[in-house]
Amino acid sequence: MPLDSHSLCPCGSGKEIRFCCSEMLKDFQQLETMLSNGQFSASLAMIEKLEEKHPNNAALMAAKCLIFRETGRFEEFFAAAGQFYGAYPQNVKAIAENTFARTLAGENAEALSSLIDGIEKNEPGKIDGNLLGPLALLVTNLLDTGQIYPAVALAKLLRSFNPKSREAAALLGQIYRSKEIPLIEKEITFDPAAPDDFPFRDKYADAAVRLATGHWKEGKALLEELLSCAGQWPNLYRSLGLVHFWFGDLDKAADAMKKFAASERVPFDDAVDALSAAMMLRRPLSDDAAVIQVVRTVPDPDKAIELLLSSPRVISMPFDPHQFTAGGQPAPSHAFRVIDRPFPEQGSPVTVENTPVTLGTFLFFGRQTDREARIEIQIFEPDKEKMISFLESVLGGNLGPETGSMTLSTLPWLFNRLGPDFQFKAGAAVKPEEVAALYRSYFEEVFAGQWLSHPNDYLGGNPPAELAGQPESARTLAALVQTVAFQTDPQFADGLAAVLRGRLGIPQPEPIVPPEGTDSEVLAFFQNTPIWRWNRADLSHVSAAACGQLLQVISLFEEESTMARLSERILSLPADEKDAQARYLAYRVKIGIVEAAEGPARALELIPEAKNAARQAGISEASLELREAAIHLLLGRAELFQQTITSFAARHRNEPEAMAELQMLLMNLGILNPDGTPRAAGPAGGAEAPAPAPSEPKLWTPDSDLPPSGDGSSKLWTPD
């Protein structure tokens, strides 16, 4: 809407123009028109001229910041934002620009503090629209730098302030679906209310409202005032610890979580969760080991290549030379991977003992005008001597002296051990279940022993095994085990955790038993149970309809083990039309599980059953048909793929969402260009078919094709 005298003044005072900068109304109108048309240079010239008559006018300073930011003139933007904020530290527009500037400069802590100051200028539950942009940018920056707790909290806040924003929903969805972020980091939160018998319950409620609406500094101050009562209710420490996490005060956060966990009033599981939350963010630095690059000369490159290619432990890797030609430097001639042992003989069982893992990689460079032939080795530093010893055994005197060394990065010990890079000989017919059994054996037999004997900073440098069976260490040890499990591939995490707990003498987690009541009572129970514990739930008395609603929620996070248990429970019950929606969801999950574990052909057999459930629930079969087409292509059935796609297009041509899904599938398969035009050469009979995109259509999103639950009365928690 064009500016008039009744519009809020663009200076950010909160007053109408007629009561603020009334003499500049025509200037503001002209400037608004120019900015909306992208006339940034002319706008800047006009601003500079106006500033001669109206120095330090907040509206002009805000417009100048906008121009510099939009045109990428960041040094000038930083200076202008600093000047604006310095002159008007209470002005929300100035705070917004300061937050933008701090975020773009990578100063996340300062940006967060500035943002919260701006939010606290409004009453709880409201936000000045100028803060939404810097809020979204800060979330992205925090995620990129691994500051998960504040990123998640701010992403939820952004969604609550801007519920209709697709960008806000997408950002939160990206966080929820991330496999790199453990579930506890996505969903741990402060207590919404204090117990009825807590004497300062109302004051805590005030703090909770402020924390939930972004008034973090005010909420934190109220919690600190209540700490003297933590003996009566230790959860005060837990809530305060989370706020410290949001602000990046990791030491204070860890201290608060330890005090919470040390209280005898705190249940064992709650204490373990709090300690785990602290451990996830404060990994021991003493565990860090370098990933290094070592350069060695090669006197006779032709002979060296011959020797390397003849070694059963050296694998030549395909690579794109162009990615190594930056700065005009010659590209390497070969890229090699070294494995720690030869491949087993054909037909041998797949075991931890005979399956090789990657020891390191190296690039081979031939002679250059001013340099000898050389190899550049990338290796985890603890494995350097093994790699050099092996290369000496292969190349002998043809491995020259070291001419350079540098650190590429550092990795924690745990990260290196949790990701063994098992290698299989090209063309080997290794079944998915054999690979799963291999990794399970590794985690439960090899890794478990290494971890138990490895010194741990959280235990004062002692290995966990030395504290086994000590009651006073049980909560800390259980938290360490849970932390490891959270970082382990979900299909192996529970088995590994059970082994570690058993060897440490820690009781195994007990099953969580929902009430044998109505669906509403069951769902209320789960709503009050941390979502990362749902995989421990006894589902034997939970109805298919309730399981379906739980499956909708957990599918947002793609938490596979719980999704598998819920879908199994639903499909084990007699089919009932009123549970068709739940059965449809369960089949969607099972198709993905079966495809990964048993192969695409077996998954294809389930699609007719899933389609039947979709029809009964009144849900479009479009996504299932596209999944069917993708599996046909994966199996090399180009003709069936074409038939399925042709039939799909004919039946769904008047359904925009279905046709958009089809276009996305064809783009993912490389058949269409991003603009929707056909590629020059697509899959054809006899040609190798590209694999479908690894992620299937999501099971449920707020704007998916699922109808609401039967009576529309579910009070089950769903992410904000």
Looking up residue 627, the CATH number of its domain turns out to be 1.25.40
Considering the domain architecture, whether residues 537 and 598 belong to the same structural domain is answered as yes
Query: Residue 366 carries which side chain, given as an amino acid letter?
Result: G
504/465 Cα distance (integer angstroms): 6
CATH of the domain at 401: 3.30.70
654 and 526 within one domain: yes
Q: Report the chain (720 residues): mean pLDDT per 10 consecutive residues.
A: 74 77 76 82 86 85 90 94 94 95 96 97 92 95 92 94 89 89 90 94 96 96 96 96 94 95 95 93 70 95 95 91 69 93 90 94 90 93 93 94 92 83 87 89 95 91 94 95 91 94 94 94 95 95 95 92 94 87 93 86 92 90 91 90 90 87 84 74 42 34 36 42
**CB-CB contact of 717 with 527 (8 Å):** yes
Q: Is residue 397 part of a domain?
A: yes
Helix, strand, coil percentages (3-state) for the chain, rounded to 5, are 60, 10, 35
Q: Let me know if 694 is exposed, middle or buried by CB neighbors in 10 A (0-12, 13-18, 19+).
A: exposed
What strands, in cross-sheet order, belong to the sheet with 314-316? 314-316, 334-339, 358-365, 374-380, 288-297, 402-412
Q: Using the 3D structure, point to which of 418, 453, 483 is the last residue of a domain.
A: 418
Identify whether residues 656 and 535 lie together within a single domain: yes
Q: Among 601, 553, 594, which residue's Cα sits nearest to residue 571?
A: 594
Mention every residue, 6+ apart, whose C-beta is less than 8 A from residue 208: 190, 191, 192, 193, 219, 239
Statement to judge: residues 489 and 556 lie in one domain: no
Supply the CATH number for residue 204's domain. 1.25.40.10
Same domain assignment for residues 642 and 532: yes
Q: Which domain holds residue 341?
A: 287-418
247: nearest Cα among 321, 150, 346: 150
Residue-level pLDDT at 717:
44
Tell me, yes or no, whether 294 and 197 share the same domain: no
Q: Are residues 340 and 449 in the same domain?
A: no
What Cα–Cα distance (Å) separates residue 143 from each residue in 169, 171, 531, 644? 15, 10, 22, 40
State the burial class of residue 707 (Cβ atoms within 10 Å of its Cβ: 0-12, 13-18, 19+). Answer: exposed
Do 414 and 488 share a domain, yes or no? no
- Does the residue 118 lie in any domain? no
Task: Name the domain boundary from 393, 418, 443.
Answer: 418
Residue with tokens 């305060």: 240
User: Going by DSSP bridges, is the β-strand pair 334-339/314-316 parallel, antiparallel, or unpaired?
Assistant: antiparallel
Residue 469 lies in a domain: yes
| Pairwise CA distance, residues 594 & 601, whole Å | 9
352, 441 contact by CB (below 8 A): yes
In a domain, 10, yes or no: no
Specify if 327 maps to a domain: yes
365 and 441 fall within a common domain: no
Residue that is last in its domain, among 350, 385, 418? 418
Q: Which two tokens stand for residue 260?
A: 């919470």
Query: Do residues 410 and 448 both lie within one domain?
Result: no
Cα–Cα distance, 75 to 79 (Å, whole number): 6
**What is the C-alpha separation between 591 and 624, in angstroms, rounded?**
10
Say whether 440 sits in a helix, a strand or coil: helix
The bridge status of strand 288-297 relative to strand 402-412 is antiparallel
- Calpha distance 659→373 (Å, rounded): 55
What's the distance, CA 570 to chain centroid?
A: 28
Q: How many CB atoms lie within 10 A of CB 329?
A: 10
Q: How far is CA 263 from CA 224, 231, 245, 439, 601, in A?
A: 18, 8, 20, 38, 54
Q: Which residue has the tokens 């090699």?
A: 336
Q: Is 495 among the domain residues?
A: yes
Place of tokens 């382990």: 488
Compute the distance between CA of residue 273 and CA of residue 483 in angstroms, rounded to an integer: 9
Q: What is the pLDDT of residue 283?
A: 60
Structurally, how many domains does the chain consist of?
A: 4
CA distance 140 to 378: 31
Q: Which of 517, 518, 498 is nearest to 506 (CA)?
A: 498
* 591 inside domain: yes
**3-class SS string, 169-206:** HHHHHHHHHCCCCCHHHHHCCCCCCCCCCCCCHHHHHH
Q: Per the domain annotation, does 92 fall within a domain?
A: no
Closest by CA to 315, choosing from 335, 345, 295, 292, is: 335
Q: Using alpha carbons, list the distances in angstroms from residue 461 to 273, 282, 375, 416, 466.
A: 22, 15, 38, 19, 10
Is there a single domain that holds both residue 201 and residue 243?
yes
Backbone angle region of 315, left / alpha / beta, with phi > 0 → left and psi within -120 to 50 → alpha: beta
Q: First-to-last CA distance in the chain?
A: 31
- Verify that 302 and 346 share a domain, yes or no: yes
What is the reported pLDDT for 347? 84
